Amino acid sequence: MRMRPTLTWEPTVGLPPASTDLSAVAEAVRGGGIAVLSGAGLSTESGIPDYRGEHGSLQRHTPMTFQEFTGDEQARRRYWARSQLGWRAMTRAHPNTGHGAVTTLAGAGLVTGVITQNVDGLQQSAGLRDVIELHGSLSRVICLGCRRTSTRAELDRQLREANPLFEETAERHRAARVNPDGDVDLPEEAVREFRVVACTACGTGVLKPDVVFFGENVPPERVEACRRLVDEAAALLVLGSSLTVMSGLRFVRRAAESGTPVLIINQGPTRGDRWAAHRVDLPLGQALTALVALACP
C-alpha cells in the first residue's frame, strides 16, 4: 500500500449532514468490538497541528516525499535540520483528554484495537499499548542500507555532537511551530551548514525516520494487521482524520463494503463521509470525554 501524495480534496455535494449528537455513536460503542482509526486531529489539543484543519500545516508546509528524501542530499540535510528542532518540540508534547478517553474505552473492553495514522506516539504515552502505527513512529530511525533500526534519541545525541553550533539556531527558533511529520520551518541559511550523520552500524547508510513518507509503501504486514482488526470489528470508529490519504480511507471503505458500521467524529467533513453510518462534528477532547461518560458502565 503506497502513501499517495494526495494533499487536498474537495468535499462532494449530497453527503449526509453531520450531527453534534453522540447518542448513536455511544450506543454502538457500548456494544463493544470497536476498532479505532485515529488521525492528526486527535493530537491537536496536545499542541501538534493537523494537516488540513483551519490552522493546518499544509497551509504553510508541504511534507517531503520519499523520492525527494532519497534522491536529494540537500533535501535530506534540510529535513534533518528541521527535524532536529521539531523532535525536541514533539518530545515536550503530552497526551490530551482524547488520547486518555481512547485508553479508557480500551480498558473497559469496548475498543479491541487502534490504528493510528499519527507518528507522535501520544496514544501509547496515554497508556495504550495495542496500537498499530500505520505510518510508523518518529521515535525510531532506520538505515536504508543495512535496515538497522535505532532510537531517535540516539540520533539526537549524534546530531548534537556533529552540529554544536546548531544550538544557537535552535534557541532562536524555539517558538517555531512543529508540523505533524515532526519538523519545523527554518530559513535556508539556518540549515545550509547542518551536518547529517550516516548509520553507525554499516558506516555509510542513509538514515531515515521510521515513518512512511508520501510516495512510500506502508509495509504489507502492517496493512494486513489493520485489515484483520477492521474485519473482526463490530464497528469502525474514525477519530480526527479527514481521510484524505488513501492508506487510511481504504479501511473505511473496506468496513463499509463488508457491512461494518463506520462512525466518524471529526471537526469538518471527511473524504469518508459517504460511507459513514453516523458522523459527529465536535472537538475530539470534548466529544471523547462525553463518549466515555455515555458508553462506559
Among this protein's residues, is 55 annotated catalytic?
A: no
Name which of 67, 112, 25 is nearest 292 in CA terms.
25
H/E element, 66: helix 66-71
Burial group, residue 270, by CB count within 10 angstroms (0-12, 13-18, 19+) = buried
User: Is beta strand 136-143 parallel, antiparallel or unpaired with respect to 207-211?
Assistant: antiparallel
SS3 137: strand
SS3 159: helix
Order of strands, edge to edge, in the sheet holding 149-151?
149-151, 136-143, 207-211
Burial group, residue 19, by CB count within 10 angstroms (0-12, 13-18, 19+) = middle
Cβ atoms of 165 and 84 within 8 Å: the answer is no
Which residue is catalytic, options 55, 135, 173, 278? 135
Buried b (16+ CB within 10 A) or exposed e, 154-188: ebbebbeeebeebeebbeeeeebebbbbbbbbbee
Neighbours of 151 (CB within 10 A): 12
How big is the chain, counted in residues?
A: 297
Active-site residue set: 135
